[in-house]
């Protein structure tokens, strides 16, 4: 979890094109999970996609797409259901609405279903690590929570 102090909004150094909390939080989450190359190791994601641009910015803040290149990855199918890192396989916030507080639980539940092979028509082929991302507040003063879940393999 990462919490903004509001520093970004107080100085002209931050251009508003990303969320500092998501970038910092994802770096720490990967370190804790032992993930060194998220673009190659993450199997699926559920993101806080409150706006289309937020989803694209988040791909970059999670260090999966290069800065300024998420749009290209999205158009190339990288985040599609059959892409390299499927995102929003269950439809995301656009499908479920935006129940404050419950969104994160829904995301974790989707990861649970996927990892156990119980996601029915949405089931991905052999997922190993799932990432959930939640965000709340204003772009310059917010909180970000990231969870990485996986299944044990011998």
CATH number at residue 75: 3.40.47.10
CB atoms within 10 A of CB 76: 12
pLDDT tens sequence for the chain (154 residues): 999 887 777 766 677 788 889 999 999 999 999 999 999 999 999 999 888 888 999 999 999 999 999 999 999 999 999 999 999 999 988 888 777 778 889 999 999 999 999 999 999 999 999 999 999 888 778 899 999 999 877 6
Containing domain of residue 130, as a range? 2-150
Domains: count for the chain: 1
Q: Are 123 and 141 in contact (CB under 8 A)?
A: no
Q: What is the pTM of this model?
A: 0.91
DSSP line for 23-71: HHHHHHHHHHHT-S-HHHH--EEE---SSHHHHHHHHHHTTSSPTT-HH
């Amino acid at each position: 979890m990462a919490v903004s102090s509001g520093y970004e909004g107080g100085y002209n150094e931050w251009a508003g094109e990303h969320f500092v909390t998501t970038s910092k939080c994802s770096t720490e989450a990967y370190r804790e999970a032992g993930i060194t190359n998220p673009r190659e190791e993450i199997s699926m994601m559920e993101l806080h996609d409150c706006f289309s641009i937020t989803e694209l910015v988040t791909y970059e803040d999670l260090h999966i797409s290069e800065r300024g290149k998420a749009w290209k990855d999205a158009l190339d199918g990288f985040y599609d259901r059959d892409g390299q890192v499927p995102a929003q396989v269950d439809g995301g916030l656009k499908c479920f609405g935006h129940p404050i507080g419950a969104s994160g639980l829904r995301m974790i539940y989707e990861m649970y279903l996927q990892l156990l092979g119980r996601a029915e028509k949405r089931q991905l082929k052999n997922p190993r690590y799932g990432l959930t991302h939640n965000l709340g507040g204003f772009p310059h003063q917010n909180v970000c929570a990231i969870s990485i879940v996986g299944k044990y393999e011998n």
